Amino acid sequence: MSEHRLDSLEQLRSTGRDLVSLLSGVSDDHLARRPEEAEWSAREIISHLADAELTYAMRLRLIVAQDRPRLTWYDEEAWVERFGPLDEDARNTLARWRALRDSNTRLFESLEGAEWERAGIHDTDGLLTVDAIAKRMVAHDRTHLDQIRAALSRR
């Protein structure tokens, strides 16, 4: 496995440790507090991360098992609005995210070299390879970890 792919895998693994550290000792009320009216709370961000992990799982499996499958777009704002309230307990949501992430990481670890270049066709982003999705996941994690930090820093 290439150096950058190993680095991506380590970064994907580290997100769980970062999330646990960020949530440690934070009250449910504080997790539910929106920093601004139009911004997500830390709890909503964690819900979004779990939902995004689910969509990554599906997309990755479609790409690895099928030739150039269609990868549908989803409205993440609508998902947070509809499904976020189901995730009242951020720690349970984190456990859901972790199970999905562990499964996705095992999938990445199982890939042969050429499988990283397998691709699907995303509705809005066009051609997406497994490698591109791994990189996207790393960037997505970092963006939302920073967003959680900012949300929790506002008292």
Confidence of residue 2 (pLDDT cuts 50, 70, 90): confident
Residues 6+ apart with CB under 8 A from 42: 22, 23, 26, 30, 31, 32, 33, 90, 148, 151, 152
Confidence of residue 5 (pLDDT cuts 50, 70, 90): confident
Could you give the CA distance from residue 92 to residue 145 in angstroms, rounded to a whole number? Answer: 18
pLDDT, one tens digit per residue, over 13-23 is: 999 999 999 99
Residue 115 contacts residue 57 (beta carbons within 8 Å): no
Above 90 in pLDDT, residue 49? yes
Mean local confidence (pLDDT), 111-131: 96
pLDDT, one tens digit per residue, over 60-104 is: 999 999 999 999 999 999 999 999 999 889 999 999 999 999 999
Question: Residue 19: which of 127, 93, 118, 70 has the closest Cα?
Answer: 93
pTM above 0.85, yes or no: yes
Percent of the chain with pLDDT over 70: 99
Tell me 114's DSSP state.
G
Q: Left (φ > 0), alpha (ψ -120 to 50) or beta: where does 2 sit?
A: beta
Tell me 117's DSSP state.
G
Chain-wide mean pLDDT for the chain?
A: 94
